C-alpha cells in the first residue's frame, strides 16, 4: 500500500506540486523535482497568514516537505 495517493512530484525549490510529466516548474522555472515529498497545502490566497508563514507567493498546491 502506497501512502501517497496523488500522482504529483514536488519542485525542489518552491515545493509546488506538478503532474509527473511536467518538465519545468511553472512557478519558479526550476527543472529539479522530487518524488520524496510529504503533505499537501492548497494556497488559494497568497496574501493569507498561512501562505506568508510557508513563504508561498503564488496560489497553487504545494508540498509541506520536499527533499
Ligand atoms: Zn518551483
d(CA 33, ligand 1 centre) in Å: 8
d(CA 45, ligand 1 centre) in Å: 18
- Give the residues of the chain that fall short of pLDDT 70: 1-5
Domain assignment present for 1: no
Domain assignment present for 2: no
Q: How far apart are CA 12 and CA 38, in angstroms?
A: 12
- Quote the domain boundaries for residue 38: 8-66
Domain assignment present for 38: yes
Q: How far apart are CA 37 and CA 8, in angstroms?
A: 9
Domain assignment present for 20: yes
- Residue 4 pLDDT: 55
Number of structural domains in the chain: 1
- Length of the chain equals 67
Domain assignment present for 3: no
d(CA 40, ligand 1 centre) in Å: 15
Question: pLDDT tens, 37-54?
Answer: 999 999 999 999 989 988
Backbone angles phi, psi at 54, to 5 degrees: -85, -5
* CATH at residue 58: 2.20.28.90
Residues near 48 by beta carbon (within 8 Å), at least 6 away in sequence: none
d(CA 1, ligand 1 centre) in Å: 29
Task: Evaluate the CA torsion angle 53, 58, 61, 62 in order and state its sign.
Answer: negative
- Residue 50 pLDDT: 84
Amino acid at each position: 500500500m502506497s501512502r501517497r495517493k496523488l500522482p504529483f512530484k514536488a519542485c525542489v525549490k518552491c515545493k509546488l506540486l506538478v503532474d509527473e510529466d511536467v518538465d519545468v516548474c511553472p512557478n519558479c522555472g526550476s527543472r529539479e523535482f522530487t518524488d520524496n515529498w510529504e503533505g499537501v497545502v492548497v494556497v488559494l490566497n497568497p496574501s493569507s497568514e498561512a501562505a506568508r508563514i510557508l513563504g508561498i507567493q503564488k496560489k497553487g498546491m504545494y508540498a509541506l516537505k520536499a527533499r
